């Protein structure tokens, strides 16, 4: 077994590998860019080597620097994680040539599966179901149309070297096939330096289901069941689960056996995933093979009781697989939510900056610990007070739950999201909560088009309907009553001026543009003990009991005997007197006041925010990479004004109306904050 390994990655996956290495008694080396010098994975590793400037192309993608760091520290092996160089066959070959072990598949297996056209030919030869289509590169748009007609519409036009949704078009007729070919070719050339394009049948109502497998150097390969990854946004996975609520036992076995046959055909060693697209009649076709550990590997670990990172390390060290196909278990149901640093209410724009608060829910399962299941696990690479840099991927954590069945897993995940505190940046948690509550998701009736269909016009606060919004008002009244009780108990109050606790309150729900709602509530203790109250609103009554302290953001307790987890905190950016209540993805800003104060509040005029329509504002924190206009220039609506880069994405800002540029308020290369003015129109 290795004595020391280097992790050629960052963030959450670097922390994950370090955890297993420590369990196995293996020393770890982290490599980091200047932006990550204080990151969690750097602190967790036994040694750390700085390998360059923040941009990936100057640090995490430079093979020479990573290999030099391994030699400098005496690391015998390199674990590439996922992303960066993890599926780079040339890097894997180079590592081996330098006498260092690559903890992953052999370079020839990786090369065989890395090319979408060649991998399809190999899959077909190995007896794997392949989507009808032409797997050789197509030379012209006319040829693409002819092939599409032969296959039958709809068809998918894809770049051979594509990924992440780039170089991909769906065509439903000749015109779309002709135009789609040219678009894919251009996109692929600029994104991957490879403009080869092919055409295949488009599977309708498709589900994305993948088979996890592991192979050793003795020719043994086993499949570790499947993962359902159909909940995707712009071809990026959002929620993953294992097993799939859709496929039958027979389909599972057939998919698993075909995945193993493909792995054996390319002499596959290490962990890998064969991705399939599955039609509404459970017809399944090979999509691609990921020759690395997947982001969603924890859900497989939960249902099988295996540590996949440990198996990867043992196989790389030359050990035989410790299990056969008959030994693979499938216990319970696991789900994973990817927690991204992005604002779902602003079209999922990246959100960077300092994590003022980062407090995940209590963990009852842990990475690399195969003795504890049926609970909550958090895989993350960030910590309280840390900085989210603009240079890398937006995923900051993975929330994983393991339940006895699917409904139990959904319930556990909703509670865990309720207790996940992230402040200072926006996160995808409200969107995850809305998805988990959607009836179609709960019933398992979804496919890869689920988010595009149900959130076609983006995600808005009203897309998170709360099953009992009065509960949130009752909780606010409960918290306010407890704070009044505490204030009344303070000594030294002047006679006649002491705090009056009171029982009658009004909860003011603060709406946009002064559209407030006023709800009368009556609060009293229902058991006569601290931490309990009965809140009445008309015919509704809520008996709340909680031992949480007043300064806790996360409030846990029972309401009418049922357990709950919610978040309540004092003060909002616009109103220091308000309470912000969050539960099941819904957020309300409220004030809990006396009836007299509520009467006076209704008389207060609404102060409209300043008119910013003359400005082009930065919709997110990021780097201003281009300003396309000059002072005095006439600009038409829809014309390009500026480009902002954040988290590996370029966002182009366009003029909303015709106008003349009066001032350019930000310069190229400047780091921008949210809503910072870039251009002012005269």
Catalytic residue numbers?
288
Half-sphere exposure of 111 (CA within 13 A, CB side): 8
Residue 404 Cα distances to 333, 367, 382, 413, 441, angstroms: 6, 19, 30, 13, 18
C-alpha Rg value of the chain to the nearest Å: 28
DSSP for 14-79, written as a single string? HHHHHHHHHHTT-EEEEEE-GGGTT-HHHHHSSEEEE-S-SSGGGTTT-HHHHHHHHHHHT-SEEE
CB 627 within 8 A of CB 679: yes
CB 398 within 8 A of CB 298: yes
Q: Considering only CA atoms, which of 651, 615, 654 is closest in space to residue 636?
A: 654
Rounded to 5°, the CA angle 517-520-526 comes to: 135
DSSP for 110-163, written as a single string? HHHHHSHHHHHHHHHHTT--B-SEE-SPP--HHHHHHHHHHH-SSEEEEEEEEE
Question: Burial level of 341, CB count in 10 A (0-12/13-18/19+)?
Answer: buried
* The pair of three-digit structure tokens given for residue 470, joined into one six-digit string: 């009065």
| Separation CA 69–CA 532 (nearest Å) | 58
Report how far apart the first and last C-alpha atoms of the chain are (Å, whole number): 69
Give SS3 for 554.
strand
Q: Considering only CA atoms, which of 121, 447, 128 is closest in space to residue 279?
A: 447
Cα torsion for 633, 634, 640, 645, to the nearest 10°?
A: 30
Strands (E), 467-596: 504-509, 517-524, 532-537, 540-545, 554-559, 562-570, 579-583, 586-593
Q: In sequence order, what are the beta bridge partners of 564?
A: 557
Helices (H) then strands (E): counts for the chain: 17, 39
Q: In sequence order, what are the beta bridge partners of 535?
A: 523, 542
| Separation CA 144–CA 138 (nearest Å) | 7
Q: Considering only CA atoms, which of 90, 94, 96, 142 is closest in space to residue 111?
A: 90
* The pair of three-digit structure tokens given for residue 433, joined into one six-digit string: 């909560």
| Separation CA 212–CA 222 (nearest Å) | 9
DSSP 514: G
Exposed e or buried b for every residue in 364-373, given b needs 16+ CB within 10 A? ebebbeeeeb
| Separation CA 219–CA 321 (nearest Å) | 10
Non-local CB neighbours of 3 within 8 Å, separated by 6+ positions: 26, 27, 76
CB 174 within 8 A of CB 145: yes
């Amino acid at each position: 077994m290795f004595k020391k390994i280097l992790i050629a990655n960052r963030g959450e996956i670097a922390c994950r590998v370090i955890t297993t290495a420590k369990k196995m008694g293996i020393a770890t080396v982290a490599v980091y860019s200047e932006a990550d010098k204080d990151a969690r994975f750097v602190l967790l590793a036994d040694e750390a080597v700085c390998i360059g400037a923040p941009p990936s192309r100057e640090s995490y993608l430079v093979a020479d620097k990573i290999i030099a760091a391994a030699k400098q520290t005496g690391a015998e092996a390199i674990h590439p994680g996922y992303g960066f160089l993890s599926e780079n066959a040339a890097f894997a070959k180079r590592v081996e040539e330098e006498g260092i072990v690559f903890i992953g598949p052999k370079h020839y297996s990786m090369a065989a599966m890395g090319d979408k056209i060649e991998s399809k030919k190999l899959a077909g030869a190995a007896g794997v179901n392949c989507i009808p289509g032409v797997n050789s590169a197509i030379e012209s748009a006319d040829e693409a149309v002819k092939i599409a007609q032969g296959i039958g519409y709809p068809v998918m036009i894809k770049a051979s070297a594509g990924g992440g949704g780039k170089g991909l078009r769906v065509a439903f007729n000749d015109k779309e096939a002709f135009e789609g070919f040219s678009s894919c070719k251009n996109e692929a050339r600029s994104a991957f330096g490879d403009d080869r394009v092919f055409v295949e049948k488009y599977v309708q109502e498709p589900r994305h289901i993948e088979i996890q497998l592991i192979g050793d150097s003795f020719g043994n390969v086993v499949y570790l069941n499947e993962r359902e990854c159909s909940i995707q946004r712009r071809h990026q996975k959002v929620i993953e689960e294992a097993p799939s609520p859709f496929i039958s036992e027979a389909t599972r076995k057939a998919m698993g056996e075909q995945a193993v046959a493909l792995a054996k055909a390319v002499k596959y060693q290490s962990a890998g995933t064969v991705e399939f697209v599955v039609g509404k009649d459970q017809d399944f076709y090979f999509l691609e093979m990921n020759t690395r550990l997947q982001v969603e590997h924890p859900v497989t670990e939960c249902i099988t009781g295996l540590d996949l990172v440990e198996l990867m390390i043992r196989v790389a060290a030359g050990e035989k697989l410790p299990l056969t196909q008959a030994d693979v278990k499938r216990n319970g149901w696991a789900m994973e939510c990817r927690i991204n640093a992005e604002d779902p209410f602003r079209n999922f724009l990246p959100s960077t900056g300092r994590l003022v608060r980062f407090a995940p829910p209590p963990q009852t399962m842990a990475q690399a610990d195969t003795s504890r299941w049926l609970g909550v696990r958090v895989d993350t690479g960030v910590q309280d007070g840390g900085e989210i840099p603009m240079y890398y991927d937006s995923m900051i954590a993975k929330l994983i739950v393991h339940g006895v069945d699917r409904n139990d897993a959904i319930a556990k995940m909703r509670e865990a999201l309720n207790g996940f505190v992230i402040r200072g940046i926006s996160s995808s948690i409200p969107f995850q909560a809305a998805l988990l509550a959607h009836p179609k998701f709960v019933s398992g009736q979804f496919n890869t088009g689920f988010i595009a269909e149900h959130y076609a016009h983006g995600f808005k606060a009203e897309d998170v309907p709360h099953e009992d919004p009065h509960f949130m008002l009752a909780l606010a009244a409960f918290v306010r009553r407890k704070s009044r009780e505490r204030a009344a108990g303070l000594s030294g109050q002047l006679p006649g001026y002491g705090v009056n606790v009171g029982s009658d309150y009004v909860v003011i729900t603060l709406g946009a543009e002064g559209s407030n709602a006023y709800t009368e509530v009556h609060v009293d203790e229902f058991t006569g003990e601290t931490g309990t109250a009965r809140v009445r609103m008309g015919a509704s009554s809520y008996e709340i009991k909680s031992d949480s302290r007043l300064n806790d953001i996360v409030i846990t307790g029972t309401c009418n005997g049922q357990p709950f987890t919610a978040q309540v905190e004092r003060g909002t950016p616009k109103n220091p007197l308000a309470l912000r209540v969050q539960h099941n993805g819904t957020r309300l800003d409220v004030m809990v006041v006396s009836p007299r104060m509520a009467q006076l509040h209704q008389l207060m005029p609404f102060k409209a925010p300043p008119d910013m329509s003359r400005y082009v504002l930065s919709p997110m924190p990021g780097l201003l990479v281009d300003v396309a206009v000059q002072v005095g220039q006439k600009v038409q609506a829809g014309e390009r004004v500026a480009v902002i880069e954040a988290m590996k994405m370029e966002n182009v800002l366009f003029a909303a109306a015709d106008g003349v540029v009066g001032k350019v308020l930000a310069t190229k290369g400047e780091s921008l904050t949210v809503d910072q003015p870039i251009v002012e129109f005269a």
